[in-house]
Amino acid sequence: MDTALLSTIVLIGGFFLLMFLRVPITFSMLLSTLISALISRTNLSVMINQMVQGANSFSLLAIPFFILMGEIMAEGGMSEKIVDLANLAVGRFRGGLAYVNVLDSMFFGGISGSAVADVSSLGSIVVPMMKKQGYKPEFAVGLTVTTACQGVLIPPSHNMVIYALATGGAVTVGNMLIAGMLPGILLGSCLMLLCFFLANHYHFPKGEGISYKGRRARILLNAIPPMMIFVIIMGGVAAGVFTATESSAIACLYTFALTYLFTRSAKLRNFNHVLRRALKTLAIVMTLIATAQAFAYMMTALRIPDQITRALLAVTSNKYLLLLLINALLLLLGCFMDMAPLIMIMTPILLPVVTSPVIGMHPVHFGVMLIFNLAVGLCTPPVGSALYVGCAVGKTELGATAKATLPMFGMMVVVLMIVTFVPAISLWLPGLM
């Protein structure tokens, strides 16, 4: 057997085999890459160098700051202030808590940038409230899970940073962060529209308005400090005051000062626990990026992206059919793998396909489409991390919750198609910079 063919089989087949055997994804990629490199007689020092280069990037510094910022916010109970603000805005309407669920995820996701953090933090507050008002627990959890996926689109999103790295400099982190804003808002708006129809069809309970002016003013004042985090990140980047990485550091310092010095909503002596949780998450993400970089290098060396490009173009030369095919592939893969490794693996494979003259897609537009697809995977079994966390928080069964999620899932796919075939939604804001 040809050496290159054998290396390719070991790299791809070995990776999926190890995943099937429940080996952690980082070790699955590392082992399959090293064995493939040995078969193809690639110098192992080159692989080590690729891993070091994968993690040695100034842009990647944004990731630990975003992760730490999310942990500090969770520790300081900022989610309660976000829920109160959303309740003040839309809580008085029929199905008000459903609207609140979508809106507070839009606010919190735009601050934390994490779907799982959104589900665990906001879900523990909103889901019990929805249950108390008579909503089905499965619907409450399903809505919380799907709305949380806005967090990976609306900045700040460390997945956008990972994609910018995976492109090899084809796009900037700042452009990716800004590009996800309108698609995220569109997703939230469409989910609220769905809740409107469901509220009228199933006669959801009507929420209670906040009539006392003093309380309304207090809610607004309490919500301003956490919402300023979003202003710092996006305002600073859009105005050119600082880079995306610098904005993440400043936002992290602001969150620390707000939580531990000004509001004192968390105790400083417990900060070591926050750091430990952040470092645990960071270790997973960074080792994953390092091994994925070596995995991507081997794929390039074996010309796998070129082969896949030719295979896809051989199926059809129709731009729209190719985009539908790519979306279907990404949705399928998102059901079985987590976001970060899929971004690192699929970007070098699919980017040459979508940027070819046949499709002519902008790399920023493709990045938003890719991350949107994988965000849908967060709420689909069998590997939907947000879905599992939601079921744990809401104490519901996975099967029943997944069934209740279907209307929201359908709406997410519809919005995904709109984002795919209307590039202006993703490219308009970056074009203004």
DSSP string, 244-300: HHHHHHHHHHHHHHIIIIIS--S-GGGHHHHHHHHHHHHHHHHHHHHHHHHHHHHHH
Site of tokens 């359908």: 410
Number of domains comprising the chain: 1
Q: CA 302 to CA 4: how far, in whole Å?
A: 6
- Residues 229 and 69 sit within 8 Å (Cβ to Cβ): yes
Asked, for residue 6, whether it belongs to a domain, the answer is no
Both tokens of 226, joined, read 């956490």
Asked, for residue 148, whether it belongs to a domain, the answer is yes
Q: Which of 390, 401, 415 is nearest to 192 (CA)?
A: 415
Asked, for residue 32, whether it belongs to a domain, the answer is no
pLDDT at position 418: 95
Asked, for residue 210, whether it belongs to a domain, the answer is yes
Asked, for residue 251, whether it belongs to a domain, the answer is yes
- Per-residue pLDDT for the chain (433 aa), expressed as one digit of tens each? 678 888 888 888 888 888 788 888 788 888 998 998 888 888 888 888 888 877 777 767 777 887 888 778 777 777 677 777 777 776 677 777 788 878 877 776 655 556 666 677 677 777 887 787 778 888 888 888 888 888 788 877 778 888 988 887 788 888 888 898 899 889 988 998 998 888 877 777 776 666 556 677 787 787 788 778 777 777 777 677 777 778 878 888 888 888 888 888 788 888 888 889 888 878 887 887 888 888 888 888 888 777 877 787 788 888 899 999 999 888 888 877 778 788 888 888 888 888 888 888 999 999 999 999 988 887 877 666 778 778 887 888 878 888 888 888 899 999 999 999 999 999 998 887 6
Number of Cβ within 10 Å of residue 51's Cβ equals 21
pLDDT at position 111: 57
pLDDT at position 289: 80
- Residues 55 and 68 sit within 8 Å (Cβ to Cβ): no
Both tokens of 243, joined, read 């880079």
- Residues 181 and 234 sit within 8 Å (Cβ to Cβ): yes
Among left, alpha and beta (phi > 0; psi -120 to 50; other), residue 240 is left
Q: Which of 99, 137, 195, 148 is nearest to 411 (CA)?
A: 195
Asked, for residue 61, whether it belongs to a domain, the answer is yes
Structural domain of 200: 43-432
pLDDT at position 414: 94
Which stretches of 76-180 are DSSP H helices? 78-90, 96-112, 115-132, 137-148, 158-166, 173-179
pLDDT at position 12: 85
Asked, for residue 13, whether it belongs to a domain, the answer is no
How many angstroms separate the first and last alpha carbons of the chain?
52
Q: CA 342 to CA 289: how far, in whole Å?
A: 10
Asked, for residue 94, whether it belongs to a domain, the answer is yes
Instruction: Tell me the C-alpha to C-alpha distance, in Å, between residue 236 and each of 182, 230, 245, 283.
Output: 18, 10, 11, 28
pLDDT at position 379: 81
